[in-house]
Amino acid sequence: MAIERKFKIGKPILEVKNISLSFGGVKAITDTSFDVLEHEVRAIIGPNGAGKSSMLNCINGIYKPQQGTVSFKGKEIPNITPNLMAQMGLSRTFQNLALFKRMSVLDNILVGRKLHTKTNFLEVAFQLPKVKKEEKINRERSEEIISFLEIEDIKDTPVGKLPYGLQKKVELGRALATDSSVILLDEPMAGMNVEEKRDMCRFILKVNDELGTTMVLIEHDMGVVMDISDRVVVLDYGKVIGDGTPDEVRSNQKVIDAYLGVEH
Amino acid sequence: MKPVFMTYTKKDLINLAVCMVLSVLVIPTFITTEYWYTSILIPWLCLALATIGQQIVMGYTGQLALGAAGFMAAGAFAMFNLILRVPDLGFVGSLIVSGLIAAAFGILFGLPSLKVRGIYLMVATLASQFFIIWMIDKFGWFKNYDSSGIITAQDIVILGKPFTTPLAMYFVCLAVTTVLTLLAMNMARGSTGRNWMAVRDMDIAAESMGVSLLRTKVQAFAISAFYCGVAGALFAFCYLKSLEPVAFDIKLSFKILFMCILGGLGTINGAFIGAAFILLFPVLLNAIGNNVFHGAIDATIISSIEQVIFGGLMIIFMIYEPLGMAKLWENIKQKWKTKIPSSTNLKSSLSKKT
């Protein structure tokens, strides 16, 4: 691309090496390796059941792979848990929406500020000055994210009452509020119409561009993926069948076969 | 609305002021019969406090727990022993320490919540109810080797002054309840409460945001047990005036659970509404029985009718208004507002148009 990027793509920030994951006898992922570079938009694509969401769950620590390692920021992480990854600066969204349904949009995003909240419950109970200071900073940051995502008018609405597209936006907002260096997006555009998809793409690129956040996303819509990502990794039956820039992947015969089917 | 003082909006402060004026000035001047203090107001405050404890663990953190009365017993007997054996602590000191002892039990019995959830957790927490009562019964030390099984609570003495009249005890309960309610509100509205609710609504997402499930759940159980413990101590010292483990049986736990659900899960004011309803409803039924039917209906039948109506109400609320009476009250206020727009609303809507 001709446009100069504020955050130049750098060294690998996240490396997945030889991951294998199986549920009982079903192999979800087999010996998969790839890396994600700092400040890039990296897409994971593949047909249904290719193991994309399982891959994200392995990176984030929800699933424990039987083999293989995940390295983050140059460190190999042995006992990986969602909480630990969050503390190291990796946030995520979920495929089937995992918002706090009875809480307002603002409160949902404020939960994302948890790791920037250092006061304990006693200090909160007595509303010490430092609690107020911290709360003010967190609220200001959350409001910034809300106006960044253009959802000011719904910030006090309980999330459960919002339409799907908006909920996806709130979930992105919550991930953003953590100020993480890497955000994993599990199908951020699933079930959206063309307009909402375009909106979501704009936000993803805007976040990547303005904050330099590394984005790893899973997406079904090939057109969208090819437009916004720097590099794409293609999974099929739990294996990597293609890895490279969108153009390289597009001309990869294996990928074409997996998506269009092969004549036998 | 913007908060004007701490986390409170102007409306909250007005509500608080009204409640304080009512409870500190209006009630003591207009209610002079002892019956109201000893049988209604004091137990109301104590049980509301225990219900806040139940709210924290069940309404806010979403952990189905059933054992509030067990923690109350722990608090009550801890209080008795502290006053007996460590008189230097004083009433308020003993109250806090007995809350902390109950909180220790809360941590112990909250640990299963990390592995089991829902109805299974409810069964696991029932253990606390039976274990604490059994422990007090089994070891005579807790009851100071009293053979009768029922021991009299010591008189309340704060800073050398006795608080033995119903009115004085009411003020003791009121002061403790007010302080603890405000602290609970601060927690519920602040980052602590957000963590609780995040765990309630979607634990896996909460964990991915850096909320530790272990710490949040155990913390909620501990705080909840603290509230129940303090409530239990007040319940024994101001209302029962005696200590017997039987008073804190499973029935009381269920009563607190009902107060929590009818009042409205996940609300602090719901705890007070629920407690008032469950306490006043039998009184109302009795009054109806005596004054309308002139005693034609047997007292036992009335108490059975009470159970039937409670059961019916529980079902109706679960289906039509799971958020309980607190939400119902909000809805009524909302309707009232839309029907009769207040003058300020009218003014602002007019000024917007022009």
Instruction: Give the domain CATH number at A217.
Output: 3.40.50.300
Based on the fold, state whether residues A10 and A63 are members of the same structural domain: yes
Domain membership of residue B165 (yes or no) is yes
pLDDT range class, residue B3, cuts 50, 70, 90: low
Q: What is the pLDDT of residues B252-301, one digit of tens each?
A: 999 999 999 899 888 898 999 999 999 988 888 888 888 887 777 777 88
A250 in the same domain as A135: no
Q: Do A111 and B6 touch (CB under 8 A)?
A: no
Judge: B204–A82 Cβ closer than 8 Å, yes or no.
Answer: yes
Q: What is the pLDDT of residue B320?
A: 85
**Single-letter amino acid code for the residue at A245:** T
Quote the CA–CA distance of B12 and A219 in Å, as a whole number.
46
| Domain annotation covers residue A157 | yes
Domain count, chain B: 1
Task: Using an 8 Å CB-CB cutoff, list chain B residues near A101.
Answer: 201-202
ipTM for this model: 0.90
Residue B172 lies in a domain: yes
Residue B330 domain flag: yes
- Considering the domain boundaries, does residue A205 fall inside one? no
Output the six-digit token pair for B59: 């309404």
What's the confidence (pLDDT) of residue B194? 95
At B326, the pLDDT band (50, 70, 90 cuts) reads confident
Per-residue model confidence as pLDDT tens digits over A211-262: 999 999 998 778 888 889 999 999 988 899 989 999 898 888 888 888 776 6
CB neighbours of residue A206 within 10 Å? 12
Q: Chain B residues with CB inside 8 Å of A176's CB?
A: none
CA–CA separation, A50 vs B282, rounded Å?
A: 62
Do A10 and A84 fall within a single domain?
yes
Residue A123 falls within a domain, yes or no?
Answer: yes
Q: Considering just the CA atoms, what is the radius of gyration of chain A in Å? A: 19
Same domain, A241 and A114: no
Do residues A41 and A77 both lie within one domain?
Answer: yes
Instruction: Please tell me whether residues A70 and A187 are part of one structural domain.
Output: yes
DSSP string, A143-190: HHHHHHTT-GGGTTSBGGGS-HHHHHHHHHHHHHHTT-SEEEEESTTT
- C-alpha distances (whole Å) from A55 to each of A224, A256, B348 are 20, 22, 54
Q: Given a cut of 90, is residue B10 above it in pLDDT?
A: no
Range(s) of the domain holding residue B201? 31-342
Q: Is residue B43, in this structure, part of any structural domain at all?
A: yes
Residue A203 falls inside a structural domain: no
Give the CATH number of the domain where residue B176 resides: 1.10.3470
B35-63 mean pLDDT: 93
- Are residues A138 and B191, on separate chains, in Cβ contact within 8 Å? yes
Q: Is residue B21 part of a domain?
A: no
Q: Would you say residue B188 lies in a domain?
A: yes
Q: Which residue has the tokens 């917007």?
A: B352
What is this structure's pTM?
Answer: 0.90
Give a yes or no: residue B1 inside a domain.
no
**Alpha helices per DSSP H over chain B:** 10-21, 27-30, 34-35, 42-54, 68-85, 90-110, 119-138, 166-189, 191-201, 203-208, 213-234, 250-263, 269-291, 299-320, 324-339, 343-353
Judge if A13 and A120 occupy the same domain: no
Residue A114 lies in a domain: yes
> Do A77 and A109 reside in the same domain of the chain?
no
Query: Chain B residues with CB inside 8 Å of A127's CB?
Result: 6-7, 186, 190
Cβ-Cβ contacts under 8 Å between A and B: the total is: 100
Q: Is there a domain that residue A204 lies in?
A: no
State the residue range of the domain holding A123. Answer: 99-179
CB count within 10 Å of CB B55 equals 28
Burial label, A51 (beta-carbon count in 10 A; 0-12, 13-18, 19+): buried
Has residue A19 been placed in a domain? yes
Domain match, A68 and A31 both: yes
pLDDT class of A264 with cuts at 50, 70, 90: low
In a domain, A94, yes or no: no
